[in-house]
Amino acid sequence: MENKKRSFFERLTGSMSVDEEQESGREYSGKGPRSGKGEKNDNNWMEEKNDEAELSVDVYQTPTDIVIQAMVAGVKPDDLELSIARDTITIRGEREENRNIDEDNYFAKELYWGKFSRTFPLPVEVEPEDVDATERHGLVTIKIKKVDKEKKNTVKVKSI
């Protein structure tokens, strides 16, 4: 079985894809979360050990920009790290849980807390220096200027 990185939703819910279930020989009983990797604790929750969640994103283009949007509710803008090259982007951060509640007092615990990241190729070449990133109500929007391959520049040669 190949070692495929699970999506943010699969990590969040503890689920696995139908293909993973068939490969592992498991049948889903309909009771509890679908689970694959991880370790059970006393409450039958599945927990990943030392792993980052994969951030879900929307990527689209305008005539001049590549636009990337991601939900990062609960993360301060200063705690987000963006690394942009001409053909790839990496978004990395961590959602920290600041509550001190005993595990026995939870009825449900579905929110994702911890590190997350996402690296993916961009559909066109971009200008890594020409970026505008904003956050509003937990939605981060990153606008990166596309490389204008049609743009021409005329240079006058000076005599020294």
pLDDT-derived band at 152, boundaries 50, 70, 90: confident
27 plus 64 within the same structural domain = no
Within a domain: 24:
yes
How many domains does the structure of the chain reveal?
2
pLDDT in tens, 82-114: 999 989 999 999 888 777 888 888 888 887 888
34 plus 62 within the same structural domain = no
The pLDDT of residue 52 is above 70: yes
Range of the domain at 14: 1-49
Within a domain: 45:
yes
Within a domain: 25:
yes
26 plus 57 within the same structural domain = no
Within a domain: 127:
yes
Say if CB 58 and CB 11 are below 8 A apart: no
pLDDT in tens, 117-144: 899 899 899 999 999 999 999 899 999 9
CATH code, domain carrying 83 = 2.60.40.790
Within a domain: 113:
yes
- Give pTM, 2 decimals: 0.60
86 plus 144 within the same structural domain = yes
Contacts of 66 (CB under 8 A, 6+ apart): 59, 60, 122, 123, 124, 126, 143, 144, 146
What is the C-alpha to C-alpha distance for residues 13 and 110, in angstroms, rounded to an integer?
7
Instruction: Note the pLDDT of residue 48.
Output: 46
